[in-house]
Amino acid sequence: MSAPKHVEPVGEAPLHGLLAEYDSPETLKKAAEKIRNAGFKNWDTFTPFPVHGIDQAMGIRPTILPWLILGGGMTGCALALGFQWWANGVDYPFLISGKPYWSVPANIPITFELTVLFSALTAVFGMLGLNKLPQPAHPLDLSERFSRSTDDHFYLLVQASDPVFDEKETGTLLETSGAIGVEAIPEDVKSESHVPRGLQYALLIITAAATIPFALSAYARESKMTHTRFDIVPDMDFQQKFKAQRENTFFADKRADRPQIEGTIAYGELNEDDHFYRGKVNGVFARTFPAQVPIDEQTIARGQQRFGIYCTPCHGQAGEGDGMVNQRASALAEGTWVPPSNLNDDRLRQMGVGEIFNTITNGVRNMPAYGPQIPTADRWAIILYVRAIQRSHKAAVADLSAEERASLK
């Protein structure tokens, strides 16, 4: 094999660098070590597939991209938490059931999303920036020799901009590094810009068009109009409907709200048993349980479960009015809270079960109506459990069995 021949730059174009071609990855790695030891900084290698050990041969340090991604993620995390804190706790505080204006757990989903978003964007754009991408054109694109870089040959390029670069000495170094050919690569001076003019115009148009939605949004936000704004996604804003208490000329009485038809009722909703459905007997609150309610331990257990769901937050586990909601409202001392009743008071012990049923169904004072939420049978089960609580607070020794009384001695 003849010695590699150094080729001078073509024409008047300035020299971009010297390109050496190798026929094996092992030879390329040895050449990379020589170039590294010679003190070159602006150089690179090109292979058709990843070559194990090339990073060490070139002396490439670990990338700082992970640190950039960490910084981007922390920025997104801080921005999300800070903005949500400012929006909910400072700019527009809104009190909901005595809850804090702002807390970390409720704001974690948005914080997580922005952390991931900023990390991903930093990874993408950081990689592009560190690799000096994109490069629409490169002087190597004009080299026929370099076309085999994606096939079966390996290349090393030393740029003329390197402080150590000397065309003659560098060429000699590459020729003695096992290269099968060395080529001088001129700069691409065919145009002042490597970006095609058509692409430049397209990017300018796209950039200008991208500002239009933001400009329209700012204009709509700051301007005042006498007509309704146009909804791009109207959803159900303009459906054919009539709001409550509005006029509808279609009907003879011109009422949009249609009254119930006299003498009709929904199937299964007659509820004609006043004792069971309204807690009354002959128009008076009942003092006995309806026949539909079995007085047994199973019903009490069901009532205890429902009591724990609907009643415990205010009335407490033992019905003494010391639930968590009452404790929180009392601690706030806003002056608008009416404490819940102690279910063990003599007044409620003497109250008929029908009146308690009515209170659960329709509510009283601050207590809302639970009729729509708790089925009728469950309301009676809750009352039976309340009676069990009341009796437990006033239990006498005579109420115990002989075995239970013996265990007390």
Question: What does each of the 409 residues of the chain score in pLDDT, given as a tens digit?
Answer: 444 444 444 457 899 999 999 999 999 999 999 999 999 999 999 999 999 999 999 999 999 999 999 999 999 999 999 999 999 989 988 888 778 888 899 899 999 999 999 999 999 999 999 998 888 788 998 899 999 999 999 999 999 999 999 999 999 999 999 999 999 999 887 755 556 778 889 999 999 999 999 998 898 888 888 877 677 777 777 777 888 888 999 999 999 988 888 888 888 888 889 999 999 999 999 999 999 999 999 999 999 999 999 999 999 999 999 999 989 988 888 778 888 999 999 999 999 999 999 999 999 888 999 999 999 999 999 999 999 999 888 877 777 778 877 787 6
Spatial contact of 47 and 24, defined as CB atoms under 8 Å apart: no
Between CA 349 and CA 386 the distance in angstroms is: 9
Q: Both ends of the chain: CA-CA distance in Å? A: 114
For the domain spanning 274-404, the CATH number is 1.10.760.10
DSSP summary character for residue 285: E
Can you state the percent helix, strand and coil of the chain, rounding each to 5?
45, 10, 45
192 touches 59 (CB < 8 A):
no
What pLDDT was estimated at residue 11? 52
DSSP 91: I
Alpha helices in 152-192 (DSSP H): 167-175
| pLDDT value, residue 3 | 44
Q: Return the structure tokens found at 176.
A: 């003695």
The amino acid at 266:
A
pTM of the complete model: 0.46
Give the pLDDT of residue 407.
80
Using alpha carbons, select from 190, 187, 185, 193 the residue that is nearest to residue 135.
Answer: 193
Residue 279's region, left for phi above 0, alpha for psi from -120 to 50, else beta, is left
Q: Parallel, antiparallel, or unpaired: how do β-strands 15-22 and 181-186 relate?
A: antiparallel
Residues of the chain with CATH 1.10.760.10: 274-404
Return d(Cα 376, Cα 43) in angstroms, integer.
Answer: 83
Task: Tally DSSP H helices, then E strands, for the chain.
Answer: 14, 7
pLDDT reported for residue 193: 55
Would you state the pLDDT for residue 210?
94
Tell me how far apart the 2 most distant CA atoms of the chain are, in Å.
121
What is the Cα 130 distance to its own chain's centre?
30
